Amino acid sequence: MDALTDRRSRPTVRKFIPVAEPVFAGNEKRYVLDCLDTTWISSNGKYIDEFEKQFANYIGVKHAISVCNGTVALHVALLALGVKPGDEVIVPTLTYIATANSVSYCGAKPVFVDSEMNCWNIDPLRIEEKITPRTKGIIVVHLFGHPVDMEPIEDIAARYGLFILEDAAEAHGAEYKGRKVGSLGIAATFSFYGNKIITSGEGGMIVTNDDQLASMMRQIKGQGQDFHHRYWFPIIGYNYRMTNIQAAIGLAQLEKIDWHIERRRQVAHWYQERLDELEGVKYQPELPWAKNVYWMNCLVLAEHHRIDRDSLIRELANRGIETRPFFYSMHALPPYRSMEALPHFPVADYLSKMGLNLPSSAKLTETEVDLIVSNLKELIN
């Protein structure tokens, strides 16, 4: 039994419980010190190659291309997929803004689709009505760690000749009908920001089985340089490379990813046990065909509850418990508000208004979950 697992035997509860924090329980320090000792600290080094290789093996794909963060992973993937000015790309309106911004970086237009209530992801039944002759592809987002219902979307994409790009920034290790997310579309992107299931501080990864696409992504993220002719740049590229130090941390985290996911699912189980019968709230779902990795543990309040969501967040913060609201829907944000003449996204609007993320770190103990839930019950009832 490791030290973190054994923390339940010590009932001490921290005065402040953050909504997210990383756990370094493996070789992180040893690998970083090796980078410093060998002076391989920049965007070349053995840890980059090994992190990419092992991440591809974990997802079950041929290629993994490391980049400096999850947002640029999306940008590189879209550029490699040929997205250009005048194109449209379908995205869920309930997501982190990077999903929509990456489309805009290409000069294309993100076209928003509402969520479905079963698992809060993009609603497959609302996609086809948004397709036009300018539609190039679909980005699906595995929100908060729960996979998207992919089969109906795969059918739509095949009928219209569209690509599917998975934004799996929040869903390392999640599964759809026994298949890991990241292996379901033409390509997928991941984030390793400090609050993610595994982290490299900052960092991202693109994965694909397409050899030509992988080669193009590597060229784009490396300033556009020709692989066989140094300092010859046949295309405009970007300096989107990951450092060896970041990769060293990421590799150490990846070595223990099953442990990280097991801990998060245990925390989710503690929450679910205690919140299952709490009236006026809906706990985060896990559908029968899904393995949810619970990047965030989430609650959605019923509308017209006696305490509104933002007041609940403030009251919990006063008690030393950090939570955060769901993302704003993209169609509600100033850069994208004018893109929909008559926006109608009732499910996403409801979730965005009433949802909050609970503390979700793998560090959480059962005692701390008890404290969080007891405060929730006191404030909600």
Provide the mean pLDDT of the chain: 94
Question: For residue range 163-210, what is the model confidence (pLDDT) as tens digits?
Answer: 999 999 999 999 999 999 999 999 999 999 999 999 999 999 999 999
CATH at 276: 3.90.1150.10
Q: In the structure, what pLDDT confidence band is assigned to residue 278 with cuts at 50, 70 and 90? A: confident
Q: In the structure, what pLDDT confidence band is assigned to residue 277 with cuts at 50, 70 and 90? A: confident
Whether residues 195 and 270 share a domain: the answer is no
State residue 139's pLDDT score: 98
> Which structural domain, as residue segments, surrounds residue 244?
28-113+122-255
Residues 6+ apart with CB under 8 A from 198: 172, 192, 250, 253, 254, 257, 260
Domain count, the chain: 2
Sign of CA dihedral 66, 71, 72, 75: positive
What distance lies between CA 181 and its chain's CA centroid? Answer: 11
User: Is the distance from CB of 123 to CB of 291 less than 8 angstroms?
Assistant: no
Q: In the structure, what pLDDT confidence band is assigned to residue 5 with cuts at 50, 70 and 90? A: very low
Whether residues 162 and 270 share a domain: the answer is no
- 7 secondary structure, DSSP code: G
Question: For residue range 204-229, what is the model confidence (pLDDT) as tens digits?
Answer: 999 999 999 999 999 999 999 999 99
User: Is the distance from CB of 135 to CB of 116 less than 8 angstroms?
Assistant: no
- Which of these three, 221, 237, 255, is where a domain ends? 255
Whether residues 65 and 49 share a domain: the answer is yes
Whether residues 55 and 37 share a domain: the answer is yes
Structure tokens at 176: 């759809």
Query: Which range has the worst mean pLDDT, 13-22, 109-118, 301-310?
Result: 301-310
Whether residues 250 and 261 share a domain: the answer is no
Residues 6+ apart with CB under 8 A from 177: 151, 289
Residues 6+ apart with CB under 8 A from 269: none
Tell me if residue 68 falls in helix, strand or coil.
coil
The widest CA-to-CA distance across the chain, in whole angstroms, is 68
Q: How many angstroms separate the CA atoms of 294 and 244, rounded?
A: 28
- Which of these three, 255, 282, 305, is where a domain ends? 255
Please check the confidence at residue 10 and state whether its pLDDT lies above 50.
no
Residue by residue, DSSP assigns 107-138 as T-EEEEE-B-TTTSSB-GGGTGGG--TTEEEE
Q: In the structure, what pLDDT confidence band is assigned to residue 241 with cuts at 50, 70 and 90? A: very high
Whether residues 16 and 63 share a domain: the answer is no
Structure tokens at 253: 């985290």
Whether residues 282 and 347 share a domain: the answer is yes
Structure tokens at 371: 């404290």
Question: For residue range 73-97, what is the model confidence (pLDDT) as tens digits?
Answer: 999 999 999 999 999 999 999 999 9
Whether residues 219 and 332 share a domain: the answer is no
CATH at 105: 3.40.640.10
- Which of these three, 255, 273, 288, is where a domain ends? 255
Whether residues 373 and 358 share a domain: the answer is yes
Please check the confidence at residue 358 and state whether its pLDDT lies above 80.
yes
State residue 217's pLDDT score: 98
Mean pLDDT score, 19-33: 97
Whether residues 215 and 318 share a domain: the answer is no
Please check the confidence at residue 58 and state whether its pLDDT lies above 50.
yes
- Please give the backbone phi and psi of residue 353, each rounded to the nearest 5 degrees, phi first: -75, -35
Question: What is the residue type of 100?
Answer: A
Whether residues 346 and 356 share a domain: the answer is yes
User: Is the distance from CB of 149 to CB of 175 less than 8 angstroms?
Assistant: no
Torsion of CA 44, 50, 52, 54, to 10 degrees: -170
Please check the confidence at residue 341 and state whether its pLDDT lies above 80.
no
Q: How many angstroms separate the CA atoms of 66 and 7, rounded?
A: 35
Please check the confidence at residue 32 and state whether its pLDDT lies above 60.
yes
Whether residues 246 and 355 share a domain: the answer is no
Q: In the structure, what pLDDT confidence band is assigned to residue 340 with cuts at 50, 70 and 90? A: low
Q: How far is the CA of 153 from the CAs of 256, 312, 378, in angstroms?
A: 32, 36, 42
Tell me if residue 66 falls in helix, strand or coil.
strand
Please check the confidence at residue 325 and state whether its pLDDT lies above 50.
yes
State residue 307's pLDDT score: 85
